[in-house]
Amino acid sequence: MKLAVFVSDYRVNVDTLERLNPEKLGIIFVQNGVYHATVKENGNSSSLLKKSANHYVLLDDLDTRGLGNSDVADNVKLVTYGDIVDLIFNEYDKTAWL
């Protein structure tokens, strides 16, 4: 399956993502999930960025939190609400909100 997983929290309290291994995986950072795309703790990027997947981050939710494009890790693509709709319909067939 082609699965788009929404991560909406910084401290993720489920380990589901570690175990999912679909044919195609997209990780979309929204709400406080956007910190995964920007924050380094003690110099280390979020472990979610190391997962083999296409990574996306919602621009509106970055801006809301005072974070800018320059804060975003290289392998994460900035997306709008419109892009998210297109990803859901065109690139993936199922979704998960953790």
Partner 1 sequence: MATTKLGFIVQRPPYKSENPKLALTHAIASQSVEVYLNDGDIVTADIAFVGDGVLNCKKDQKAMDLYKLTSTETHVKMALLLDLNVLVCKEDLDRFGLTENDIVLNAEEFGAEMTVKVVPFAEITKMMEGVNHLLFF
Partner 2 sequence: MGKFTIGCFSSLVGSMSLDFAVKLAGTALEKGHKVDLWVSGNATMLSLKGQRAFKDYSHLEKPLQELMQKGLTVTACEACAEARGYHKEHTIEGFKRHSMDWYLASAFDADRVLHIGGE
Instruction: Please report, as ranges, the residues that interact with partner 2 according to CB under 8 A.
Output: 6, 8-9, 30-31, 60, 81-82, 84-86, 88-89, 93, 95, 97-98
Residue 78 site contact among a copy of itself, partner 1, partner 2, none (CB < 5 to 8 Å, cut-off depends on kind): none
Q: Are 45 and 68 in contact (CB under 8 A)?
A: no
Both tokens of residue 94? 């199922």
- Using CB under 8 A as the binding rule, the residues of this chain from 39 to 78 that contact partner 1 are 39-43, 60, 63-68
* Cα separations in angstroms, 6 against 42, 43, 70: 25, 24, 22
9 binds partner 1 (CB under 8 A): yes
Q: Look-up: residue for tokens 């589901």?
A: 16
